[in-house]
Amino acid sequence: MRYLPLTPADRTEMLARVGADSVDDLFVDVPEEARLSGPIEGLPMHASEMAVERHMTALAAKNLSAGSAPFFLGAGAYRHHVPASVDHLIQRGEFLTAYTPYQPEIAQGTLQVLFEFQTQVARLFGTDIANASMYDGSTACWEAILMAARVTRKGKAVLSGGLHPHYGEVVRTMARFTRDEIVSLGTELAAEPDDAAVIGAIDDATSCVVVQYPDVLGRIPDLAAIAEAAHARGALLVAVVTEPVALGLIEAPGALGADIVVGEGQSLGVGLQFGGPYLGLFGCREKFVRQMPGRLCGETVDAEGKRGFVLTLSTREQHIRREKATSNICTNSGLCALAFSIHLTLLGGEGLAQLAALNHARARAAFERLTRIPGVELLNSVYFNEATLILPRDAREVVQELAGRKVLGGVSLGRLFPVADGLGKGLLVAVTETTTDEDIETFATELESLLVGVPA
Amino acid sequence: MRYLPLTPADRTEMLARVGADSVDDLFVDVPEEARLSGPIEGLPMHASEMAVERHMTALAAKNLSAGSAPFFLGAGAYRHHVPASVDHLIQRGEFLTAYTPYQPEIAQGTLQVLFEFQTQVARLFGTDIANASMYDGSTACWEAILMAARVTRKGKAVLSGGLHPHYGEVVRTMARFTRDEIVSLGTELAAEPDDAAVIGAIDDATSCVVVQYPDVLGRIPDLAAIAEAAHARGALLVAVVTEPVALGLIEAPGALGADIVVGEGQSLGVGLQFGGPYLGLFGCREKFVRQMPGRLCGETVDAEGKRGFVLTLSTREQHIRREKATSNICTNSGLCALAFSIHLTLLGGEGLAQLAALNHARARAAFERLTRIPGVELLNSVYFNEATLILPRDAREVVQELAGRKVLGGVSLGRLFPVADGLGKGLLVAVTETTTDEDIETFATELESLLVGVPA
Amino acid sequence: LEEPLSFELGAEGKCGVDFDAADRAPAAGLSKFLRKAPPALPGLTEPEAVRHYTRLSRQNYAIDLGPFPLGSCTMKHNPRLNESMARLPGFADVHPLQPQTSVEGALEVIEQLADWLITLTGMASVAMSPKAGAHGELCGLLCIRAALDARGEERDVVLVPESAHGTNPATAAFAGFKVQSIPATPEGRVDLEALKAKLGPNVAGVMITNPNTCGLFEPDLKRIADAVHAAGGYVYCDGANFNAIVGKVRPGDLGVDAMHINLHKTFSTPHGGGGPGAGPVVLSEALAPFAPLPFVTRGADGTIHLVEEENRGEGHAQAFGRMVAFHGQMGMFTRALTYILSHGADGLRQVAEDAVLNANYVLRTCEDVLPAPFAKSGPCMHEALFSDAGLADGISTLDIAKGLIDEGFHPMTVYFPLVVKGAMLVEPTETESKAGLDRFIASLRSLAERAKAGDQSLHSAPHFAPRRRLDETLAARKPVLVWKGDAGEPAAS
Amino acid sequence: LEEPLSFELGAEGKCGVDFDAADRAPAAGLSKFLRKAPPALPGLTEPEAVRHYTRLSRQNYAIDLGPFPLGSCTMKHNPRLNESMARLPGFADVHPLQPQTSVEGALEVIEQLADWLITLTGMASVAMSPKAGAHGELCGLLCIRAALDARGEERDVVLVPESAHGTNPATAAFAGFKVQSIPATPEGRVDLEALKAKLGPNVAGVMITNPNTCGLFEPDLKRIADAVHAAGGYVYCDGANFNAIVGKVRPGDLGVDAMHINLHKTFSTPHGGGGPGAGPVVLSEALAPFAPLPFVTRGADGTIHLVEEENRGEGHAQAFGRMVAFHGQMGMFTRALTYILSHGADGLRQVAEDAVLNANYVLRTCEDVLPAPFAKSGPCMHEALFSDAGLADGISTLDIAKGLIDEGFHPMTVYFPLVVKGAMLVEPTETESKAGLDRFIASLRSLAERAKAGDQSLHSAPHFAPRRRLDETLAARKPVLVWKGDAGEPAAS
């Protein structure tokens, strides 16, 4: 077996050294009736690399990959072009096969990357500080709500109707068990986001308001106004960014008054991956540092006075503080953070701005074309690279029919909001720098053909 | 431009430092009439990674890759499964982006690999020593003939009719200019190789006989008998191995008396690559060492007495010896040698033997099935993983028609030997561990349908 | 050689990415949202970036460089096939919300992996979406909460042995439970009688690590489970150490109700310097109905379905909700399934046997020079536990650990579990060769001898690492979490 | 840390590859050919192999780690996109003898690259199959031989400047020519008058490197070419240094008849520790008809054809034959084309400008501390040439070179070209940043100062490399080329 270096001779010699007759002597503590006498039945035995490769390749071939079809999905996961050097670098064994940097003297590579990552996230979000990453955007959002409760010592969170419904689901699921109070505003097909409703829902019991920016329908809320209203009642503004590329074009949430900014970092470096692993981003005001969840990397010096980096403030964390920890999170999303950080380093601020401008331009091209289809209307007054189209019929069916024509034509609001009425004709369409004119034309042609019967 | 680190500000500052008004001042030596005033016209300007990726991917998609069709080509290039770790390791920047190890203190990685590679090749070929690689099998073959001439001080080489015709072409092309004498025996559709003809062609003027093992039709010559006859007339036996995997099953040429063994190493680690880069293998008797072409890595010690490795015997080489060098070769095939060496290290001797046994077994399965097709006959009395089928009609057309049905069904002898008569019905079919039962069945069914009209 | 921060290397306007030009200006309506200037993030061209990260990487120790015997972390070889399979466009370039008909292969990966996990553990079901071990623990406890809710019971205590991973009590608290500790026996096991004494109508369940953090199998687990069940509670098993027993015993046969599986431990997905992980949770019949959304089911006709909010219907009415956006750690699923298929049922059993053999080999070859508190109890499982009792005054576990760095090895887990003074927990895993172990053992023995002899140079180890010992107190006292060097506050150098 | 040889690590029967079982025994007829025992090659399992090669790799310096200013070698950044494109199955997993209809994309890559090379050089044609630079030289000289043969002339002398790469005279000899040397002027150029004096009816041609190995452009190249042509000869240009002039001047405009292009120099295919390279040869109208088989042509209708022996026909009757099996270095073609498309016509021009600017920057910032023999002649091209004249007694170029290793840099090319005493040839390339160059320059200046001051510690440099200076004499005197440690002759340790 190719991954097991012990030879039969080694095993014999080692068993003799440990004083066991057979390896089963080492499993004496396992109750005899539970001990398996051989490989579990009904499962295949070991297989060659070639055989496994064939099996997995056949499964992969059953999926329609985004690169092989006109592709317009977003809704919290975006397809961007990742430079080839990113994947090359994260595959270096020294990054890929290292553990959490518990021994900083021999983990400066990972640690310096995390310090750079934290700085990048903080600057991107416009926050003072950031942590070393969370599981993903949705769990980071829940952690932000918990943290806001710790900071404000209040327990009621208001969720904008523009928050990604999966994020809302995660929050409500968790809150059901922690008994936190969650006020979820409804989602409606309006050209403008629900800023007024959010502001109206804030009261003195409110720990935070959670607002996505741009929101799940592609609209852009007025964070500054919401922040002002929240702060007036002693509540925090938690901004949620599911498309960090947008921040190359529109103002950083921290600069608009958000107290905590969380997000999904998948857009940069990580890729679609059928939903995971992804990368939770978490930034906030410096004064909240000891209430933050997740790992933090900090600068220090070594015994010779040289700059170095360590994991720090671990007194917040579960392995020290146990049941009093700020979170039970242990693993972060280190390798995804590395990929994000490399991609953002390659871009730089100006590159990110260019990338964002290109995304927006491509989206304008797409929506110009798509809204020329009779019966198709654009919901949004403004958008970055994603917006909501109103179709003349249920978008769920349309998406299915498009897939049958090898077009991945967006996310239906019916799938995202299965229990909400009145959203069924909404189709969320995302466009990035990877979207070509031919993609747009194919999509438009097929959509038109479905909707108004023009032959494809 | 993503690969150019100088900023406009850097350029201005540096030009000032070198005392130039503009960069064109640095090109004053270029005659003014020849200086181009701007980018060459008619060529595209720089392009994004994404755009280039699209262009290249579209070109790649126009090829029918071996993995996407039943595949039976060999004739000097074999498709084997290469473990994923091989490609991972050769892509490490420290291997990939290093130069020829002219500074051995900081090139021990490459040098130790070459030393290990030389040892592996020598043991595989059954020769005393081996060099650090050549361009490919065909050029190694020509270098072997030149070396035999230096060793024997004679100038006539006899080529077996079983030598790969491209190798023969290379030899004849080069000899035409060097005025060496080459005796090329004809290739015939016989069950046995032309050992007798080879032996009969040896005379006292013969420097070497060149015999492929297994030969290009998949037959296996009796090297020991040929070696004996050659040695009796003061000639050397040059054995050519185009499928090194065979040496897991059949005896090493060196052990049978070959004086020089050359080969193509592509089978291990390198892959098909549409013919290049490949890997020339070169082993010989130790007493010929100073007549060898190509780089050699040798063991030595450093100033502290530690074992280390250096390029050695460079007095044979062009950069020292100039027009008196043993060869003009400069570059070797270092990265391919690394891939070969890693693959062979993963296999080990026993793994190679298993791999060879599996290749042979798969080939037996294929030829059992294929020869059940009416009118299809097997030429060879024995074979390793490749043999010649005699079809009822011209194999060139059959190969074309099979390709139309998405079956890559071997190499026609008509393509390999365009000027030889009587070989047209020959089809060279190679089978490796990558060939599945379904591949064989599809091939057989399509072939039968073409030949005898059974509907596919 | 020192490597500057990317911010120190970069320059305004440098960029390692080229773009097509944007052919449309920002929409007029967007003007009030536009930022005034690009983010203050200096860029690097590709040559500079490749060099920066390549050089940084070389300051890391990694499993690709040598043994990484961190107890309870299972740092085993990460096969490269797993990486290449996870990068197939059919897996890596697929959106989580694509129509099901366009992702059937991806759903099949999830289903096949789920089937293996269920079979290997002898459980009824598995929740695939948890993102890591601690997230899996949370999932398991939420299932217990949901099951209790369904029974209409308000049990609010979870019993946790004092040797548990820190995540266990943190998770219990996060899920809204009160934590009560259970002591260990002198043999390093859960005290069955002490546990029984705490059972009662307020006890929701118990969280047990098996094999436990002393590297020992809990022989009483079935009895513990029976007692807990009899008292109306559930048994959560921390599966971080499943590597020691995979293919040798099924937790389901021991009465476990929920157990997370760290795919990055037992099934070799790479740790990546701290994640991502993946923590599927296998569930007993009793807890299976409460597993969170989304999940993948295979119908009687063999077809595969993704169950989400929109189609949960009556059949899955009890599912407690969604723990994450999307489906979980797909990239880790492809790697883990690749690994599992490579090993097969026979290979996985061999994994456990070799992991346990390697650990016992370390235990027996070192127990004469380092105290091994539970060595007399019998064989250990996949990790060998030592203590720093008996070293010369002032020399401690930390010094041994840092000394190992100078010998070219990563240290073992130190000061954990807490039940042993100056604990050193060595987990070699099955992917170390005997020759490699012999070198490690020789180094460990030599360090133990030096420590006993009072070699004070160990205090200043490591000497041959990229950094000497780092001042962690300074880092925590005045946290510097982001670089501000370009804001007039130069970073320390 | 030391890394043993794989043979010292491996064990009989260890294997890092699993196989399906062979379902058929060897054929009876094969029995007399079977080997008695497997080759004596110990194997490694995958974890051991990954570690062995990862650790070995770390004993290498590489462009990914820092500047690699080897003059005349053009060690520039190797973009990762090139690697990923070359690995697309449509390129990497295609057999050279597949029917043309199944490899049209591969042929198109060859044709597109050929078209770029022809256009960039202003030549008539290109032979793509040569495997490396020296092989390309051979191809060019064989074309000249074939052209002379076609003219019925037996010219047997090739003129080569004394500053030429060693491959030039070796190649000329290999192609059956006699070599006559041409001296250099004091300014480091070819002596035009000396060359003219040697021209005659026995001269087949001249081999000239431009820019030459002193890092200078040959301003007389056109005049040289005119003189050679007038005398009935051909001009071969060694294109190793094309990086300095790509996009700035076309060799075809200067009268060149043949020039090889090192794809691994100008067009960034990775050097891989010594190859593989690729050496296409561009040809003038006069030599184009003689280009070797096989080649790719584009018909008037835009379709692409592969011309081989079987279909050379009348149109290609003069092709001189085949230099290699198959089509040449396809894997390098895909990388080079990817690189060329990335840069475009504007980027390639910028490449030359930045390469030349970087070299002049090194020249002008160091000429005050290191003698630069041709610095007064004007600007250099892509490389700066220094000499060790004026260093303290006994300290030489070699000591400066080894001293650079301790500073974290790869040394420059040393003792070449031969026309300068203790030559140091520094080629930074365009992919070094100004900041990186400034660090290199600071180190070089400091070493020059130390050398002038007679710092004897330079003799024993490097001190901080994986090895101290190695005994090359011992290696050559008693060559040990293979490991024999298991045959009772232990390797030195």
In terms of domains, do C428 and C296 share one? no
Residue C227, by phi and psi: left (phi above 0), alpha (psi -120 to 50) or beta?
Answer: alpha
**How far is the C-alpha of A133 from the C-alpha of A337, rounded, in Å?**
7
Query: What ipTM was predicted for this assembly?
Result: 0.96
Residue ending a domain, choose from B309, B328, B343: B343
pTM summary value: 0.97
D218-240: burial string, b at 16+ Cβ within 10 Å, e else: bbbbbbbbebbbebbbbbbbbbb
Closest by CA position to A34, among listed C254, D348, B298: C254
Q: What CATH number did the domain enclosing D413 receive?
A: 3.90.1150.10
The label of the residue with tokens 């090889």 reads D260
Per-residue pLDDT of chain C (493 residues; tens, 9 = 90+): 689 999 999 887 899 999 998 999 999 999 999 999 999 999 999 999 999 999 999 999 999 999 999 998 999 999 999 999 999 999 999 999 999 999 999 999 999 999 999 999 999 999 999 999 999 999 999 999 999 999 999 999 999 998 787 788 888 988 889 999 998 888 889 999 999 999 999 999 999 999 998 999 999 999 999 999 999 999 999 999 999 999 999 999 999 999 999 999 999 999 999 989 999 999 999 999 999 999 899 888 888 989 988 888 877 889 999 999 999 999 999 999 999 999 999 999 999 999 999 999 999 999 999 999 999 889 999 999 999 998 888 899 999 999 999 999 999 999 999 889 999 999 999 999 999 999 999 999 999 999 999 999 999 999 999 999 999 999 999 999 999 987 544 443 3
Residue B403 belongs to a domain? yes
> Which of A2, A7, A95 should be substituted to probe chain D, the one whose Cβ sees the most D Cβ atoms within 10 Å?
A2
**How far is the C-alpha of D349 from the C-alpha of D242, rounded, in Å?**
11
In terms of domains, do A170 and A308 share one? yes
Amino acid letter, C247 = G
In terms of domains, do C209 and C284 share one? yes
In terms of domains, do A360 and A238 share one? no
**How far is the C-alpha of D140 from the C-alpha of D121, rounded, in Å?**
15
> Which of D13, D80, D83 comes nearest A7 by C-beta?
D13
| C179 sits in which H/E element | strand C178-182
Q: Do residues D290 and D322 lie in contact, with contact meaning Cβ atoms separated by under 8 Å?
A: no
Scanning C207-246 for CB atoms below 8 A from A yields 216-219, 222, 245
The label of the residue with tokens 């053992």 reads C441
Cis peptide before D96 (omega within 30 of 0): no
Residue D282 CB neighbour total at 10 angstroms? 33
The number of folded domains in chain D is 2
In terms of domains, do D139 and D272 share one? yes
Tell me which chain B residue has its CA closest to the CA of residue C81. Answer: B84
Q: Do residues C476 and A298 lie in contact, with contact meaning Cβ atoms separated by under 8 Å?
A: yes
In terms of domains, do A273 and A203 share one? yes
Amino acid letter, C153 = E
Amino acid letter, C130 = P
Residue A291 belongs to a domain? yes
Closest by CA position to A295, among listed A148, A117, A153, A142: A117
Q: How far is D50 from chain A (nearest CA, A)?
A: 9
3-state SS assignment for residue B376: coil
In terms of domains, do A317 and A436 share one? no
Residue C51 belongs to a domain? yes
In terms of domains, do B331 and B380 share one? no
Q: Do residues C199 and C228 lie in contact, with contact meaning Cβ atoms separated by under 8 Å?
A: yes
In terms of domains, do B262 and B225 share one? yes
Overall size of chain C counted in residues: 493
Residue D108 belongs to a domain? yes
Q: Do residues C84 and D92 lie in contact, with contact meaning Cβ atoms separated by under 8 Å?
A: no
Say if the Cβ atoms of B110 and D42 lie within 8 Å: no
In terms of domains, do D368 and D450 share one? yes
3-state SS assignment for residue D441: helix
Contacts of A83 in chain B (CB under 8 A): 2, 49
Closest by CA position to A178, among listed A156, A196, A204, A163: A156
Residue D3 belongs to a domain? no
**How far is the C-alpha of D131 from the C-alpha of D330, rounded, in Å?**
10
| B442 sits in which H/E element | helix B437-452
Q: What CATH number did the domain enclosing C208 receive?
A: 3.40.640.10
Which tokens hold the place of B99?
Answer: 């130069």
Residue A129 belongs to a domain? yes
In terms of domains, do D355 and D292 share one? no
Contacts of A7 in chain D (CB under 8 A): 11, 13-14
Residue B47 belongs to a domain? no
3-state SS assignment for residue B209: strand
In terms of domains, do C364 and C437 share one? yes
Which tokens hold the place of A356?
Answer: 């964002």
In terms of domains, do A187 and A327 share one? yes
Q: What CATH number did the domain enclosing B141 receive?
A: 3.40.640.10
Residue D20 CB neighbour total at 10 angstroms? 15
Instruction: Give residue D183's domain range.
Output: 81-336
Looking only at the bridges linking them, the beta strands covering D384-386 and D424-426 are antiparallel
> Is the Cα dihedral B168, B173, B177, B182 positive or negative?
positive
> Which of D2, D53, D64 should be substituted to probe chain C, the one whose Cβ sees the most C Cβ atoms within 10 Å?
D64
The number of folded domains in chain B is 2
Residue A3 belongs to a domain? no
Instruction: Give residue B292's domain range.
Output: 84-343
Residue C116 belongs to a domain? yes
Per-residue pLDDT of chain B (456 residues; tens, 9 = 90+): 999 999 999 999 999 999 999 999 999 999 999 999 999 988 999 999 999 999 999 999 999 999 999 999 999 999 999 999 999 999 999 999 999 999 999 999 999 999 999 999 999 999 999 999 999 999 999 999 999 999 999 999 999 999 999 999 999 999 988 889 999 999 999 999 999 999 999 999 999 999 999 999 999 999 999 999 999 999 999 999 999 999 999 999 999 999 999 999 999 999 999 999 999 999 999 999 999 999 999 999 999 999 999 999 887 766 666 677 777 777 789 999 999 999 999 999 999 999 999 999 999 999 999 999 999 999 999 999 999 999 999 999 999 999 999 999 999 999 999 887 899 999 999 999 999 999 999 999 999 999 987 554
In terms of domains, do B237 and B220 share one? yes
In terms of domains, do A116 and A204 share one? yes
Q: How far is A81 from chain B (nearest CA, A)?
A: 7
Say if the Cβ atoms of A84 and B50 lie within 8 Å: no
Q: Which residues contact B264 (CB under 8 A, 6 or more apart)?
A: B76, B77, B136, B137, B138, B140, B241, B242, B243, B244, B278, B279, B280, B281, D325
Contacts of C11 in chain B (CB under 8 A): 7
Residue ending a domain, choose from A309, A343, A377: A343
Residue C37 belongs to a domain? yes
Neighbours of chain D (3+ CB pairs under 8 A): A, B, C
**What is the arrangement of strands in the sheet containing D384-386, beginning at the earlier edge strand?**
D384-386, D424-426, D413-414
In terms of domains, do A321 and A247 share one? yes
The reply to whether D140 touches chain B by the CB within 8 Å rule is no
**How far is the C-alpha of C236 from the C-alpha of B101, rounded, in Å?**
58
Residue A183 belongs to a domain? yes
Tell me which chain A residue has its CA closest to the CA of residue B91. Answer: A88
Residue ending a domain, choose from A325, A343, A361: A343
Which tokens hold the place of B447?
Answer: 């072939």
In terms of domains, do C388 and C283 share one? no
Residue ranges of E strands in B24-149: 129-130
The label of the residue with tokens 């930022």 reads C35
In terms of domains, do B446 and B384 share one? yes
Looking only at the bridges linking them, the beta strands covering C234-238 and C258-260 are parallel
Say if the Cβ atoms of C13 and B1 lie within 8 Å: no
Rounded to the nearest 5°, which phi and psi values hold at A307?
A: -60, 140
> Is the Cα dihedral C84, D88, D280, B291 positive or negative?
positive
Looking only at the bridges linking them, the beta strands covering B236-241 and B260-264 are parallel
Q: Do residues A91 and C83 lie in contact, with contact meaning Cβ atoms separated by under 8 Å?
A: yes
Say if the Cβ atoms of A84 and D19 lie within 8 Å: no
Residue A4 belongs to a domain? no
Residue D47 belongs to a domain? no
Q: How far is C446 from chain D (nearest CA, A)?
A: 17
Residue B12 belongs to a domain? no
Kindly report the average pLDDT of chain C as a whole number.
93
**How far is the C-alpha of C60 from the C-alpha of B86, rounded, in Å?**
22
**How far is the C-alpha of B141 from the C-alpha of B170, rounded, in Å?**
9
Q: Do residues D82 and A88 lie in contact, with contact meaning Cβ atoms separated by under 8 Å?
A: no
Which tokens hold the place of D298?
Answer: 């584009």
Q: How far is D475 from chain B (nearest CA, A)?
A: 5
Tell me which chain C residue has its CA closest to the CA of residue B93. Answer: C54
Tell me which chain A residue has its CA closest to the CA of residue C436. Answer: A5
The reply to whether B434 touches chain A by the CB within 8 Å rule is yes
Residue C346 belongs to a domain? no
Residue C75 belongs to a domain? no
Which tokens hold the place of B94?
Answer: 């420290």
How does pLDDT run across B315-371, given as a tens digit for each residue?
Answer: 776 666 667 777 777 778 999 999 999 999 999 999 999 999 999 999 999 999 999
In terms of domains, do A195 and A120 share one? yes
Q: What CATH number did the domain enclosing A440 receive?
A: 3.90.1150.10
In terms of domains, do C135 and C101 share one? yes
Q: Which chain A residues have any C-beta within 8 angstroms of a chain D C-beta?
A: 1-5, 7, 46-51, 83-85, 87-88, 93
Contacts of D90 in chain B (CB under 8 A): 57, 59-63, 65
Residue ending a domain, choose from C301, C336, C371: C336
